[in-house]
Amino acid sequence: MGFHMLESIQYKGRSAEWLAFDNMHHQWLLLAACFWVIFMFMVASKFITLTFKDPDVYSAKQELLFLTAVPEDAARSPGETHFAKELKPTGKMPLGDQLVQPLVYMQRLELIRNVCREEALRSLSHTAISKFVLDRIFVCDKHRILFCQTPKVGNTQWKKVLIVLNGAFPSIEEIPENVVHDHEKNGLPRLSSFSNEEIQMRLKTYFKFFIVRDPFERLISAFKDKFVHNPRFEPWYRHEIAPGIIRKYRRNRTETRGIQFEDFVRYLGDPNHRWLDLQFGDHIIHWVTYVELCAPCEIRYSVIGHHETLEEDAPYILKEAGIDHLVSYPTIPPGITVYNKTKVEHYFLGISKRDIRRLYARFEGDFKLFGYQKPDFLLN
């Protein structure tokens, strides 16, 4: 408004016939100045809301809130500490649950962005969006959803949800078990089956999500499922893959038992594991890192679900994907998603610290990106 005052000073002392005009002029200037101020304010406020929506600027606010949640988590006894329970501290804040809950999901995305920027972790957090990754991602065009498959976290259920949404079957109960993983028949295409432009368009505009769980507990689960119980009758795990691992990694040559968790740990922690990976083909999806499966630093996922909080995360994902009125996630049996430290300790018992540290060194990216606590009770 500086120019306005200046002009009114210049107009002083002019003749009376000018005075009327001067007053009018004065008023117009005042009005124009006010409009200018209002206009500038509107532009500024628009700019402020826009920058707030930009996640990188928003992060400053997020980090503050994140810090308030962390000490509570760290204060808990190491035995019971689990990152997933971090939901609780934010829940204690005076805001209503509806407002607070999405914060957890935003913090997860923010953590990923921060860890992706850490130079020291680069090789453990980054991967190319290769055909291997595009094969892991399933497409629901009807509702514009991409789902990256991460085995051993209830993925079959999510696939069923998407199969129903794509319209191949009317309900989850009606999908035959053998069709869920048969992508010729189940009407759930892989992202890799599209052209380059179609892939780019979907990656840019669709709702994208995947589910993670504690990386070591996941490996135990994969080991049990593929080498111990093998409920889906996939004989190649025990008859091809296990002997391959034993040949290369068993320490005690006179030991003739079937594959032990120790052999598996030594294979996974070997910096040259790729040599065997290549022979095992896509079966490695059960134990390669989440980074290798879903490229979380290259693809900007909309939501990351945690197996440990699936009871809250599944409905949230359905809501965010805009499909909560169409499907619901099947009932989760109580207790199965809870992190079980006793079980983890039991499986790693007797395995050398060196081998466990090498395993952690490979999975450190997954631990850090998804906020899982470093398992010091195994490493030290």
Ligand X SMILES: *[C@@H]1O[C@H](CO)[C@@H](O)[C@H](O)[C@H]1NC(C)=O
Shortest separation between residue 352's beta carbon and ligand X, angstroms: 12
If one asks whether residue 171 binds ligand X (CB under 6 A), the answer comes out as no
Our CB check for ligand X shows the closer of 188 and 378 to be 378
Indicate whether 346 belongs to the interface with ligand X (CB under 6 A): yes
Considering only the stretches 142-150, 289-297, 337-345, 356-364, report the one whose residues sit in contact with ligand X under the rule CB under 6 A.
337-345
By CB under 6 A, is residue 342 in contact with ligand X? yes
Residue 117 touches ligand X, criterion: CB under 6 A = no
Count of residues binding ligand X (CB under 6 A)?
Answer: 9
The answer to whether the CB of 227 falls within 8 A of the CB of 259 is yes
- Cβ pair 58, 50 in contact under 8 A: no
Residue 131 or 346 with smaller CB distance to ligand X: 346
Q: Cα angle at 329 between 327 and 335, to 5 degrees?
A: 165
345 binds ligand X (CB under 6 A): no
Nearer to ligand X, 107 or 309 (CB): 309
CB 80 within 8 A of CB 67: no
DSSP letters of 301-348?
-SEEEEGGGHHHHHHHHHHHTT-TTT--PPPPPTTTTS--HHHHHHHH
Crossing angle of helices 310-320 and 97-116, in 10° steps, is: 90
Min dist CB 251 to ligand X, Å, is 8
Query: Which CB, 302 or 373, lies closer to ligand X?
Result: 373
Q: Which of 60, 335, 350, 380 binds ligand X (CB under 6 A)?
A: 335
How do strand 303-306 and strand 207-212 relate by DSSP bridges? Answer: parallel
Q: How many CB atoms lie within 10 A of CB 80?
A: 9
Contact between 46 and ligand X per CB under 6 A = no
As a whole number of angstroms, the distance between CA 231 and CA 147 comes to 24
Residue 340 interacting with ligand X (CB under 6 A): yes
Site for ligand X in 245-304 (CB under 6 A): 252, 254-255
Q: Does 334 bind ligand X (CB under 6 A)?
A: no
- CA-nearest of 317, 301, 299 to 309 is 317
Locate 233 and state its tokens: 């009758």
Q: Is 343 in the site for ligand X (CB under 6 A)?
A: yes
Backbone angles phi, psi at 211, to 5 degrees: -115, 140
Candidates 87-95, 332-340, 353-361, 363-371; binding stretch for ligand X (CB under 6 A): 332-340
Minimal distance, residue 92 CB to ligand X, in Å: 25
Q: Measured from the CB atom, is 131 or 353 closer to ligand X?
A: 353
**Sign for the pseudo-dihedral over CA of 317, 319, 321, 327:** positive
User: Which residues here bind ligand X, judged by CB under 6 A?
Assistant: 252, 254-255, 335, 338, 340, 342-343, 346
